[in-house]
Structure 1
Amino acid sequence: MARIIAGKEIVTSMNGALRQETALLREQGCTPTLAVVRIGDRPESAAYQAGATKRCETLGIAVQSLILPENSSLGEVLQVIEALNLSPRVHGVLLLRPFPPHLDDRAIRDALCCEKDVDGVTSLSLYGVFTGVRQGFPPCTAQACIDILDYCGVSLRGKRAVVVGASLVIGRPVAMMLLARGATVTLCHIDTVDLPSECRRAELLIAAAGARALLNKDCLSPGQVILDVGVTVGPDGRLYGDVDFEAANSVAEALTPVPGGVGTVTTTILAKHVIEAAKRSLPQQQR
C-alpha cells in the first residue's frame, strides 16, 4: 500500500510559519492584502474564491473582492487592474479564470504587473519560471507540487520524472521547476505515443492532463511517487483524478488523493505568495 500524502497534513505544517510572517509584517505596519477579481458568476470561480478567501483570512491576510459584471468591457476590466497595480495597499492579485469569451484573456493577464501576480498567470511570471529569473511567482498549483515533494523529503536530483499534461498552468511550469532541481524530465500529454511505457519509466510521476483515470495500471510501476493534479467531475458529482487510485495505491511508494491532495495545498501556496509579495514591497532595510 502506498503512503497517502494528505494535503491537510502539509497545510497544517505550513500554517504556523505563515502566521508568524504575517504577524511580523503587521508589526511593521504592513497588512498583507490579496485582491480577488472575478468577472461574472461562474460557480466554480465563486467556490475557489470562497476557499482562497477563507484560507487567507485564517492566516491574517486581508482580502478584497472585486466582482465585475459578466458583460464588462475589456477597457473596464483593464481599468480595474491598473488601479490594483498602482495601489500600495494591495500586494497580490488573483484573476479568476476563465474569463467571459468576449474578453481577451492574454491582454487581461498581461495587464497585471508581475510583482502582484501571485498565481503566475502573466507572461513575465512564466518567463521567470522558464529562465530561473526571480521575477513574479510561479503558478500556485505547480509550486504546490514542489512543496509537497519537499515536505515528503523526495530528492529530485537525478530522478527520472514524467509530467503528463503540457498546459501553462501546471504541466510546463512544473516540468521547468523539476528540471531546475536536477530532475531529468519527460513532458507528455494525452497524444503521446505509447504513453504507458513513458510513464512506467518514471520514478516521479505528475499527472496533470485533466482526464479521468487516464493513467491506469499499465502506466504504473512499483516504487513510484505519484502526484495526481487532474480533477474531473464525474456523472455522480464526485471528483476524480487522472490516476486510477486503486491501481496506484497497490504499487506506488507515495500517492496524493483526489480530492484532498495537491488542490488542498494550492490555496496555502497562494497565501504564501501574498506574504512574500508583501515582504518584497517593504524597503530593503525592513525585510
Structure 2
Amino acid sequence: MDKRYQLQFTVQEDGQLLRDALAGFGISKRTLTAVKFDGGALYVNGEERNVRHPLNCGDVVTIIFPLEEVSEGLLAEYGELAIVYEDEALLVINKPAYMSTIPSREHPSGSVANYVRGYFGQQGIASTVHIVTRLDRDTSGLMIIAKHRHIHHLLSEQQKSEQLQREYEAIVEGQVEVVKQSIKAPIGRKDTSIIERQVSADGQAAHTDVMVLKHGDKNSHVRLKLYTGRTHQIRVHMAYIGHPLVGDDLYGGCQQALDRQALHCVFVQFPHPLTGEVMTFESQLPIDFIALLNN
C-alpha cells in the first residue's frame, strides 16, 4: 500500500499549465520541487505528467507527495490526547497545563509531540509531527496540528494573513483600567536570557488586543486576541503594560494563588486548508482557572 500523502483537485478553467494550476491550489515552489525530485509524482486524469502539461476544464489533477522522514530523535510515546477534532488533514487538541509542546532538555518526554508521534504510528499516518500553533508548557487550551508538511504550509500562510484566529483568556494582576485596547509593541529576545523575551525596538512586530471581562479585588479577567505569534507574546505584552499574568513568575507575576501562568487558549477559527470551510473551536476554562476566578 502506497503511504504517500495524496491530494486531488479538479481544474476549473481551460488553458492553464499544470504548474500554474498547482500554484493556484496552494502548492509552494518548495513543495513542488520536493514532489519532482524526492519521490513524488503528478498525474492528470490518471496519467503521469510534467509541470508544463496544458490542462482543460474538468481535468483531475492528483499530487502524490514524497514520504516524510519521521524524526528519529522524537520518541513515540503513548498517552491521552484530548482530541477535539480530527480529519485527514489535521488535528485540534485541548492541551492541559504542565505539558510541553515539544521535548526539551528540562522535559525530554511526555510532550504533545511525543504523544502525537505515537498516535500517528498507531493510526498508520506516515508523517512527522507538524505543530501549527504552539503553547507554552504551562499554558492550556486549543492547539492545531497538521498531518502533513503541505497542510502545515497552508495553515502557516493563514497565520501570516491573519485568517487563522486565536483568542485566549487570562487572569492578570491588578485592575486593567482600559476596557478595550490594542498593544502593538515589537518583541525580541532579552540579552541576558536564552528564554526570556521583552518589548524591544529592534524586535519583531507583535500585536495583541485586550478586552476586560471582569474586575476582581486584586486581579482582572481578560480576553486576548493574537494577530501575531511571537514567543511569550501575551505574557510579555501584559507585563509591559504593568499587568503580568497571575502565576507567571518569569515576567513578574506572583505564584501564591497559582503555580502556572493563568492563560488558556479558548478559541481558534480558520478556513479548512483543503475545503475552505470555516472551522470554529472553543474550549472551556480549566478547573484551576475557574477556581481562581471564584476566589
TM-score (normalised: structure 2): 0.26
Q: Greater helix percent: which structure?
A: 1
- Determine which structure has more spread, i.e. the larger CA radius of gyration: 2
Task: Answer 1 or 2: higher relative contact order, Cα 8 Å, separation at least 6.
Answer: 1
